[in-house]
């Protein structure tokens, strides 16, 4: 067995399954996450567990049986809140027998509740602009209860630096062994698929560029738009024959992205959007798909620094960017390969796990 080289990107020849971490004092971390399918739990915690173990860190995740987000309907919320708090008690109790507690945002969405009962030292992990809720008061209390804040992007880091002297940048990771280009031969077809994947709460971003998508699909009849989401999109002006939808599922999320030819990520330009961590773009990049994304927050940094796609700012530039990619397969391939190389070098789970391991050990 040979020592690991944790900063070596996967795909570069390093045999990650045949190496062990250098000897370090074992560390046990209790991670209190928001739910089984919550993206931040899946990609900022669960995806890093194996790589952290190689570095001597045992990360135990405590997933509540009742979700941290309130249900629709005010009458249901009165029953939900005490149930959600009760569901947190096993994780809180377990955290007190660990060396570090990792809190993923708040235990209950937009509120400061039982965080002070968890074991110390605490590390707060944040990948959204949660300080925009309730005038930031719960978030400020949450930050002050932690020994360290891990911020998913520079915008979040700047905000949390107002309330905490120990803030470190930790981008969201992508497992480039799992999210990778398809090994299947591409079908002999002239059809080009524009793809979008996300949750129903973000479908309104797709509607922002509906005029551009309509023009593109009308101009290129062999192109189609495929949406992967937990709800079917409402895009009334898109030709039905050129629009398809698949229900999101963790078992099929990789093959869905592999089926795209172009990955899109439209956004508004606001503080909530600046707090996002570009995960859609990372999924597309890891699968070697060119990215067309609004230049907001991390998206702007990704697209400005590397030749991985286009950064349209209005419907006209969205239309021209998509047409350019539809008409040039070589361009799609070049941008897609550059995106994957960037995902491997900077955002792979091995790279991010090494940074998280250093951060977690720093609070002991």
Rounded to the nearest 5 degrees, what angle is found at the Cα of 58, between the Cα atoms of 53 and 60?
Answer: 125
Which residues, at least 6 apart from 76, have a Cβ–Cβ distance to it below 8 Å? Answer: none
The per-residue pLDDT for 270 is 97
Assign 305 a pLDDT band (cuts: 50, 70, 90): confident
Which residues, at least 6 apart from 359, have a Cβ–Cβ distance to it below 8 Å? Answer: 123, 148, 150, 168, 170
Assign 9 a pLDDT band (cuts: 50, 70, 90): very low
Segment 22-31, tens digit of pLDDT: 568 999 999 9
Q: DSSP letters of 132-198?
A: GGGGGHHHHHHHHT-SEEEESSHHHHHHHTTT-S-EEE-PPPB-TTTS----SPPPS---EEEEEE-
Determine the 3-state secondary structure of 270 from DSSP.
Answer: coil
**Cα–Cα distance between 280 and 287 in angstroms, integer?**
11
Assign 58 a pLDDT band (cuts: 50, 70, 90): very high
The per-residue pLDDT for 338 is 97
Average pLDDT, the chain: 92
CATH homologous superfamily for the domain 2-173+348-362 = Glycogen Phosphorylase B; (3.40.50.2000)
Q: What is the CATH number of domain 192-345?
A: 3.40.50.2000
Segment 136-174, tens digit of pLDDT: 999 999 999 999 999 999 999 999 999 999 999 999 999
Distance of CA 114 to the CA centre of its chain: 26
Assign 4 a pLDDT band (cuts: 50, 70, 90): very low
Share of residues in the chain with pLDDT > 90 (%): 86
CB 152 within 8 A of CB 39: no
Nearest to 172 by CA among 302, 303, 308: 302
Alpha-carbon radius of gyration of the chain? 21
The per-residue pLDDT for 5 is 41
H-state helical runs in the chain: 39-44, 49-53, 74-95, 137-144, 154-160, 203-208, 210-219, 253-258, 271-274, 279-286, 298-305, 315-326, 329-342, 349-362
Q: Where are the domains of the chain?
A: 2-173+348-362, 192-345
* Mean pLDDT on 349-360: 98
Segment 198-252, tens digit of pLDDT: 999 999 999 999 999 999 999 999 999 999 999 999 999 999 999 999 999 999 9
Q: CATH topology of 2-173+348-362 equal to that of 192-345? A: yes
Nearest to 210 by CA among 266, 128, 263, 279: 266
Tokens of 346: 């900077």
Tokens of 110: 């937009």
């Amino acid at each position: 067995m040979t020592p690991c080289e944790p900063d070596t990107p996967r795909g570069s020849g390093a045999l990650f399954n045949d190496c062990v971490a250098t000897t370090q004092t074992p560390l046990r971390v209790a991670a209190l996450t928001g739910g089984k399918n919550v993206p931040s739990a899946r990609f900022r915690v669960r995806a890093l567990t194996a790589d952290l173990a190689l570095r001597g860190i045992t990360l135990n995740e405590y997933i509540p049986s009742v979700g941290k987000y309130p249900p629709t309907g005010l009458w249901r919320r009165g029953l939900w809140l005490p149930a959600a708090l009760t569901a947190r008690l096993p994780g809180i109790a377990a955290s007190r027998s660990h060396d570090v507690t990792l809190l993923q945002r708040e235990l209950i969405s937009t509120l400061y509740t039982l965080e002070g009962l968890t074991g110390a030292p605490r590390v707060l992990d944040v990948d959204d602009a949660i300080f925009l809720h309730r005038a930031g008061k719960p978030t400020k209390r949450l930050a002050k209860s932690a020994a360290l804040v891990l911020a998913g992007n520079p915008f979040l880091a700047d905000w949390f630096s107002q309330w905490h002297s120990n803030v470190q940048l930790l981008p969201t990771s992508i497992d480039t062994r799992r999210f990778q280009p398809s090994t299947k031969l591409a079908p002999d077809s002239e059809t080009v698929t524009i793809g979008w994947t996300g949750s129903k709460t973000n479908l309104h971003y797709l509607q922002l560029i509906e005029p551009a998508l309509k023009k593109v699909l009308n101009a290129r009849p062999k192109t189609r738009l495929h949406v992967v989401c937990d709800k079917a999109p409402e895009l009334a002006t898109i030709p039905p024959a050129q629009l398809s939808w698949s229900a999101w599922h963790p078992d099929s999320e990789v093959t869905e992205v592999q089926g795209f030819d172009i990955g899109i990520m439209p956004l508004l330009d606001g503080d909530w959007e600046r707090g996002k961590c570009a995960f859609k773009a990372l999924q597309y990049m890891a699968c070697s798909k060119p990215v067309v994304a609004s230049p907001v927050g991390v998206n702007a940094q990704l697209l400005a620094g590397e030749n991985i796609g286009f950064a349209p700012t209005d419907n006209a530039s969205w239309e021209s960017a998509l047409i350019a990619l539809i008409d040039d397969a070589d361009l799609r391939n070049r941008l897609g390969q550059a995106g994957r190389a960037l995902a491997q070098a900077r955002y792979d789970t091995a790279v991010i796990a090494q940074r998280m391991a250093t951060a977690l050990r720093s609070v002991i």
